[in-house]
Amino acid sequence: MHQSVQICNGDTVKVGSFSYTLPGVYTSPLTTIAGCDSIITTEVTVLPSVIDYADAIICKGDSVTVGGITYNTSGTFIQTSIGANGCEDQLIINLTVLETEFDRNVTICAGDSIKVGNNIYKSGGQYIDRLVSGYGCDSIITTHLTVFDNSSLGQEIFLCLGDSIKVGAHTYFVSGNYIDTLQNAKGCDSLVFTKLKVVPLPAPTNKKISLCEGQSVSVGTHMYTTTGLYRDTLAGIHGCDSIVITDLTVFPKNYLQSKQICQGEEYKVGNMKFNKTGSYTIGLKNYFGCDSIIILDLTVRPVYARRLDYLICPGDSIFIGNYAHTHAGIFLDTLQSVFGCDSIITADIKLNTVQTALDFSLCSGESVTVNNKSYNVAGIFRDTLTKTDFCDSILILNIKIFPRYEMDTLFEICKGGSVTIGSSTYFNAGQYTEYLQTKAGCDSIIRFEIKIVNFAPTFSISKDTLKTFNIAGASYQWYECKANEFVPFFGATNNTFVIVKSGKYALGITYKGCTYISDCIEIMLSDVFDLQEDGFYFYPNPVVDFLTIESKQQGRIQIMTSLGHVVRDSEIFEGRQEISLSEVPAGIYAIKWIVQNKIKYFGVIKL
């Protein structure tokens, strides 16, 4: 059997003993009155119900009417109605009624403020404000404002070293002034000013005390009567612990001493000395004034002495007591008896030996063989010649090694000078090798180079000044040439020299210990003029291949060596022209410029 059933949301359809509330197709087995099984198929359709929501906000004193019903209090209200499908529809109304009068109590801390509307309040009192909410409701707010003061506290605290104090969230253990901000019971800031001083622990006090038996000493709450080392902790200033260490010695009244001494020794008790075996009773007063009785049981042990003679081979040894002796001589050894007393053993040891000393002088790289052993380093060596009959013979070898020298050096000499190496004398530049012998007869090799320091001083003149090149490490001397002699000018030791009259002048230069003097050059002051003003130039200087001459006048130049030899003689015309110096050897040259019976000297360097 099939049936279709429509129900509203929340209703139930019952088929036999089955109940259905959700849409769907259900099969229900049933039993008829006659006991026959029946199956009913039920198609359930749930008709929808409409649920609407309405939210409203009104001011206190206002009201709202929905479906003919008026509401003026806050709450949730449900209105029902029958829909077109016969099911019940619902309208859920959420109504909020806004209050218009508020009364509140507010507390703040000094320095804080509250804002009500556009007003800001910092002082205690009652304030009434009228505000308009976002929903257009007038609100009257009565504020009862209480202002609590901030508090402060100052404290001075002493701490023992190693302790600490906590203020708020901070822990302090170092002396200093600290400021912490806490909250008081009202929730306002409370400034705590802490002056902290850390008291160092005093150094332990050491006491050394001596007592007689029966006496006592008190330290703090403790009393001590027996010998020992005691440590007490006492309370010092500001409650910090003070350590007292007491080293206590208690002297007994009676002493029993059992002593042993060796023959010849003494045992002293007080002012009394004992050196014989026996038992003694001595009454004393010790350093601390305590009466003492010493019962001394003294035993004197004998001392022994012996002399022994020995003859041994070199390299052998003999033990006397705990000592091994390998050399000749008289030795005293002290042994101890079972009682600890010294026994003196005098040992006279003699060596049955033959000893030979040999000296060798060798050159580096040589060697000498002695007793089938080769030696090539300096030193003192010992060797033994073994004999079959008795003691061996000792060889002492003193070997000296003398070096062979090999060196390279440079000699710089003046022209005409010489260098003597060994028995040979050298005058010319070059590289040489000499083979010599040292005082010890060892070959030495000297490789050397000879360079001859040779140069010819030159100079030029500009107006009244003689000039030459400035050479590092050189010294200068200007001369006047008179009667074939060079007369030095006092103080004229620079590379320039100002002349005051015409005459013959020369230049001496000393460099690397060599002194050379130029030829005498005659200078006529009346003939000297500034060629640059007359338009005479030459370049480059130094020159490699070609020297360029620029002149506004016709003249003649001569390029001369320091010895006066002319290497170039050229006529100069107006304008610019080049003179080839490519075949001229490198050196320092003088340029002699002759124009209209006037002479000018210049210096030029050829590279």
Same domain, 597 and 471: yes
Same domain, 465 and 594: yes
pLDDT for 188 equals 85
Phi, psi (rounded to 5 degrees) for 112? -90, 175
pLDDT band at 431, cuts 50/70/90?
Answer: very high
Residue 11 has pLDDT above 70, yes or no: yes
Same domain, 316 and 437: no
In angstroms, the CA 192 to CA 152 distance is 6
129-176 confidence digits (pLDDT tens): 887 776 777 778 888 988 888 888 888 888 888 788 888 888 988 888
Same domain, 530 and 585: yes
3-state SS string for 479-543: EEEECCEEEECCCCCCCEEECCCCEEEEEEEEECCEEEECCCEEECHHHCCCCCCCCEEEECCCE
Q: Mean pLDDT in the chain?
A: 82
pLDDT band at 507, cuts 50/70/90?
Answer: very high
In angstroms, the CA 516 to CA 415 distance is 9
Query: Rounded mean pLDDT of 429-446?
Result: 84
The whole domain housing 139 covers 101-148
Same domain, 513 and 424: no
Same domain, 501 and 588: yes
Residue 440 has pLDDT above 60, yes or no: yes
Token output for 32:
């008829």
pLDDT for 287 equals 66
Same domain, 447 and 392: no
pLDDT band at 486, cuts 50/70/90?
Answer: very high
Give the total number of structural domains in the chain.
Answer: 10
Same domain, 508 and 543: yes
107: which residues sit within 8 A by CB, 6+ positions away? 145, 146, 147, 148, 186, 187
* 391-400, 528-537, 556-565: the lowest-pLDDT one: 528-537
Residue 477 has pLDDT above 90, yes or no: yes
190-232 confidence digits (pLDDT tens): 888 889 888 887 778 888 888 888 788 888 888 888 889 998 8
pLDDT band at 526, cuts 50/70/90?
Answer: very low
Query: Rounded mean pLDDT of 78-95?
Result: 83
pLDDT for 353 equals 66
Query: Rounded mean pLDDT of 392-403?
Result: 83
Contact indicator for 552, 577 with CB cutoff of 8 Å: no
In the chain, the percentage of residues whose pLDDT exceeds 90 is 5
- Is pLDDT larger for residue 407 or for residue 288? 407
pLDDT band at 369, cuts 50/70/90?
Answer: confident
In angstroms, the CA 280 to CA 566 distance is 129
442-474 confidence digits (pLDDT tens): 878 889 999 888 878 888 777 778 888 888 888
pLDDT for 534 equals 57
Same domain, 465 and 584: yes
In angstroms, the CA 376 to CA 363 distance is 9
The b-or-e profile of 73-103 (16+ CB within 10 A means b, else e) is eeeeeeeeeeeeeebebebebebebbebeee
For the chain, the residue count is 607
430: which residues sit within 8 A by CB, 6+ positions away? 449, 450
Residue 373 has pLDDT above 50, yes or no: yes
Same domain, 156 and 231: no
Domain finish residue from 222, 251, 280: 251
Residue tagged 């304030």 (tokens): 127
Burial class (CB in 10 A: 0-12, 13-18, 19+), 557: buried
Residue 262 has pLDDT above 60, yes or no: yes
Same domain, 24 and 93: no
In angstroms, the CA 174 to CA 201 distance is 14
Here the CATH number for the domain that contains residue 600 is 2.60.40.3080
Query: Rounded mean pLDDT of 241-264?
Result: 82
Query: Rounded mean pLDDT of 464-489?
Result: 88
Token output for 251:
């002297």
Residue tagged 């009393």 (tokens): 223
25-71 confidence digits (pLDDT tens): 888 888 777 777 788 888 888 888 788 888 888 888 788 888 788 88
105-133 confidence digits (pLDDT tens): 888 888 888 888 888 888 888 988 887 77
Same domain, 473 and 538: yes
Q: Are strands 228-235 and 189-199 parallel, antiparallel or unpaired?
A: unpaired
